[in-house]
Amino acid sequence: MLRSKTWTSTAYWVRTWSRRNHGAAASARLDLSGIYPPIATPFTAQEDVDYDKLDQNLLKYAKIPFKGLVVQGSNGEYPYLTEEERVEVVRRVRRSLPADKLLLAGSGCESSRATLRLTEKMAAAGADAALVVTPCFYKGKMDSHALVQHFTKVADGSAVPVVLYSVPANTGLELPVDAVVRLSQHPNIAGLKDSGGDISRMALLVHKTKSHHFQVLAGSAGFLMAAYCVGAVGGVCALANVLGQQVCDLERLCTSGRWDEAGSCRGAWSSPTPAVTRKLGVPALKQAMDWFGFTAGVCRSPLQPLDHEQTEQLRRDFSSNGWM
């Protein structure tokens, strides 16, 4: 079953009514548990958004048991898209995504006002939740007080639940534990995508927020198994764009307590995971997607494609455990 434009528009107003009239129930019913690929935005050689290639990728993702998709996250190159492009990509994904799959849309901007406005547009385009990254341009002023005020203002005005997004490798700013604990009590904040990779910190967050129906998602396949061990409910994993079924298999092993098998499974991508995240980033992810039957196209400038040496290193990373 696919969602039509009419359904999307109606859903927005239904969620708005629910948010205003049921408070905590709206986000409490949102179960984030599962695996989400933070999908790439395909571009043409001229660096225009390639919606045809996006549709082709979505058809392939539909065959993998993901809980949903993250759209316009870091791997979607969202800082390089206009607001109109960001919303249109979400709208196009929602049209193709089955009704039972969640769509988490990145709506973070530097100001609270702009974030709230874009969150409203993402909800109207069919997002089930808004993934809101920490504002970071004035990172020296983004203490717990400022961040709590920011996320509270967005959550207060959002028609859909908000998922906090901490990605210190990109922002240079980690969402403080005390801020997360305070925000976890907000009825319209459903959880956190934590890309920092500090498992002790993640365990502390899970422990301090578990009574508030707050859920934590690991931000990488590299520490997904460890995250499950300390109480995370799923992951938003760049590697799932390439090895989606395998990441879902790891999820199944972890949630069924088959830790020895999970450890063996996890070891098989010890090289590919950092290659498409902290080492080589989005250009490597797009190259790997092309190798594995998806179409990602070029990156938008100023991101540059991999050079020959980087491409060969990426090939070795995927070949070392038999993926290529």
Active site residues: 193
Return the number of other C-beta atoms located less than 10 Å from residue 5's C-beta.
Answer: 11
221 contact partners, CB below 8 Å, separation of at least 6:
235, 237, 238, 239, 240, 247, 250, 269, 273
Return the number of other C-beta atoms located less than 10 Å from residue 198's C-beta.
Answer: 13
Q: CB of 192 within 8 A of CB of 164?
A: yes
Token pair of 249 as six digits: 């298999």
Whats the size of the chain, residue-wise? 324
Q: Which amino acid is at 42?
A: P
Measured CA to CA, the distance from residue 5 to residue 44 in angstroms comes to: 26
Nearest to 137 by CA among 182, 170, 106: 170
User: For residue 136, what are the β-bridge partners?
Assistant: none
Peptide bond into 302 cis (omega under 30): yes
Q: CB of 275 within 8 A of CB of 314?
A: yes
Which residue is it, tokens 């196009």?
Answer: 92
Nearest to 129 by CA among 168, 97, 171, 158: 158
Nearest to 127 by CA among 158, 148, 157: 158
Handedness of CA 323, 252, 227, 61 (dihedral sign): positive
